[in-house]
Amino acid sequence: MEKLFNFKIESTLPCSTLCIANGLNNFLSLCNHLKNLPYGRTNNRSDYNSVLKENKGTCSTKHAFLKQVAIENNIDSVKLFIGIYKMNNSNTKGIGKVLEKHNLQYIPEAHTYIKINNTIVDITRNTISGESFENTLLKEVEIIPNAIGDFKIQLHQNYLKQWILKEELNYNFESIWSIREQCITAISA
């Protein structure tokens, strides 16, 4: 964590109240708790509150929840981003066979993370070995927590459609999206 960045969670607004009810009284303990929750889509991929209710989450729900807690506690140095990066086997272990099968070097993937004082903090990825996703960022957009649903999907799909045209791939959008879903399944296995 960015030099052990921390603040006390004191707000009486919904996400902060949920944290306090779960014994998470500061930002660092919240980050550690969310990091240790299993990766998995919640019943409603746009409802970031669900991470503490369902005890699981994705990059979107976990990081959006962190940003919302920062907002509720008037902390401006935590920003939420969607980054489109070159997802490959070096930075996303487990997808190599899928990409190889389809003769692709990478697929642009949308990933959600926070920045604290302009440094990327990602509680959902382990980048101790291999390449970091941030070294292959193609596009980055700052968002608000409510943008993790439809906005993120549209941003990602529009990027993929342009990428297919630019790279003159022999795949249509539906095929690329299917290959991308195979990659996500491989990561989760």
| DSSP 8-class letter at 43 | S
Q: Is 2 exposed, middle or buried (0-12, 13-18, 19+ CB in 10 A)?
A: middle
Domain boundaries, the chain: 2-72, 83-188
pLDDT value of position 128? 41
Residue in this structure with the two tokens 């399944």, named with its chain if needed: 185
Q: Is 85 strand, coil or helix? A: strand
Tell me what pLDDT residue 41 has: 84
pLDDT of 127: 42
45 pLDDT exceeds 90?
no
Percent of all residues in the chain with a pLDDT value above 70, rounded to a whole number: 95
Model pLDDT for residues 99-158, shown as the tens digit of each residue: 999 999 999 999 999 999 999 999 987 544 356 889 999 999 999 999 999 999 999 999
pTM here? 0.91
pLDDT in tens, 71-94: 999 999 999 999 999 999 999 889
pLDDT at position 185: 87
178 CB contacts (<8 Å, ≥6 apart)? none
pLDDT at position 4 is: 73
